[in-house]
Structure 1
Amino acid sequence: MPNLLSELFKHNLWANLRLLDACARLEDAQLERKVAGTYGSLSDTWVHLVAAEGRYVALLSDQQPDQSFSEHTGFLGWADLGERAQHSGERLIALAENFDASRVLRGIRNGESFAIPAVVPMIQAINHATEHRVHIATILTQLGIEPPTLDGWQYGQDHLSAS
């Protein structure tokens, strides 16, 4: 029987990779397209989404974030982005499979100590990715491109069976 939390993160990875695949065929000018009410250009939004997932993994793993990839480094190509999305997605799934909801994360950020329930970045990871996938889908639609269906129904049809 699937673990609900890990299944949510499996859906998250599936949705990210499916949408990445749809965007990988775009021309450079399309990658820079911005639409009011969204994060920014397609390329900037993708970098932000994937870099943030890496930071959530680092926080939940008691590690330092990867400084070689962030919103400051910019878009390094679809292959790099896909590898990073795959890696962070798999790590989030692994974290979800053995998740301790009572765990408290402690550390220092920007010179200030913090203590937050570990469930907070797990919730944020799902919410954040969903929000920015919607931004990306909105931009694709404005470009006249039908974004892939990323909802739970499609994921269930593609990956889960009731047998």
Structure 2
Amino acid sequence: MNDVLPYRTMAYNNAWANHRLLTACERLSPDELTAKRTGFFPSLRATLNHILIIDHFYVDAMEGGTLGPAAFADQEPCATVATLKKAQAAVDQRLLKVVEALDAAGLQRIVSVHRGTSIQRERMDRLLLHLFQHQVHHRGQAHAMLSGTSVSPPQLDEFFSAGEAPLRAAEFAELGWTEEGIWDSNAKT
């Protein structure tokens, strides 16, 4: 198996799950989006913005940037789901571009993560795994919060489920992807 393929598929799954979750959240009223809920962050909006902020922080580092703690300057940069969805899609595309450019040596490359008073040096593969874990953790919290609203939470944990094929095909078309393109490490989706 290609060394990079698992990271590619996780990056695509990550972007798809974000798309699905935010598409569902678009149906929330502004009050439901900002209502106090049980979770690490006090609302769906705060949780979804946190996902976005951390993505900016780590993807910038993976791209060789020095954004660092400036990523945390505004804890809720997006007031609406529409702006969140657009911003999240943009950072997801940046992450896909990073992962698409990787090879086996790139997975071992050391990334400098600017933390303000220090610079953390971490291998790309470990940083990617940390970022994917972070995403799953907080998307799960947002998913649970969404269950307490008028909007049913979408399925997020069956990336290539046969029963989801028609819906997946429509969503992939929306995103400009194909299933073959995701699994074929030589193809560009």
- Mark yes or no: TM-score above 0.5: yes
Q: 1:155 to 1:62 in 2, by over 3 A?
A: farther
Cα distance change, pair 79–127 in 1 and its aligned pair in 2 (3 A): same
Q: Which residue of 1 aligns with 2:187?
A: none
Report what 2:10 is aligned to: 8
Q: Does 1:152 align with 2:154?
A: no
- Which moved further from structure 2: 57-66 or 131-140? 57-66
In structure 1, C-alpha distance between the alignment counterparts of 2:72 and 2:27, rounded to whole Å: 22
Q: Does structure 1 retain, via aligned residues, the 8 Å contact 2:49–2:78?
A: yes
Q: Does 1:127 align with 2:133?
A: yes
1:92-126 deviations in whole A, cap 9, x for unaligned?
11211232121112364222233222223211221
- The equivalent position to 2:93 in structure 1, one of 90, 96, 99, is 90
Query: CA offset at residue 21 of structure 1?
Result: 0.8
Choose which of 74, 79, 83 in structure 2 pairs with 1:80.
83
C-alpha spacing 1:43/1:155, structure 2 compared with 1 (3 Å): farther
SS in 1 for 2:45: helix
Q: Distance in 2 between matches of 1:111 and 1:68?
A: 15
Which residue does 1:49 correspond to in 2? Answer: 51
1:68 CA drift (Å) = 7.7
The AA in structure 2 aligned to 1:148 is P
Q: Could you tell me whether the CA contact under 8 Å between 2:59 and 2:95 is conserved in 1?
A: yes
Go from structure 1 to structure 2 and tell me whether the alpha carbon gap of 1:107 and 1:50 turns closer, same or farther (over 3 Å shift): closer
- Amino acid of the residue matched to residue 89 of structure 1? D
TM-score normalized by the length of structure 2? 0.73
Mapped partners of 2:67, 2:118: distance in 1: 17
Aligned-residue offset at 1:69: 7.5
What is the correspondence of 1:30-69 to structure 2 with a 5 Å cutoff? Answer: 30-65=32-67, 67=70
TM-score scaled by length of structure 1: 0.84
Match of 1:103 in 2: 109
* Identical columns (%): 23
CA contact (8 A) 1:33 1:42 kept: yes
Question: How far apart are the structure 2 equivalents of 1:97 and 1:46?
Answer: 25
Whether the 8 Å contact between 2:58 and 2:113 is mirrored in structure 1 is no
Change (3 A) 1:37 1:59: same
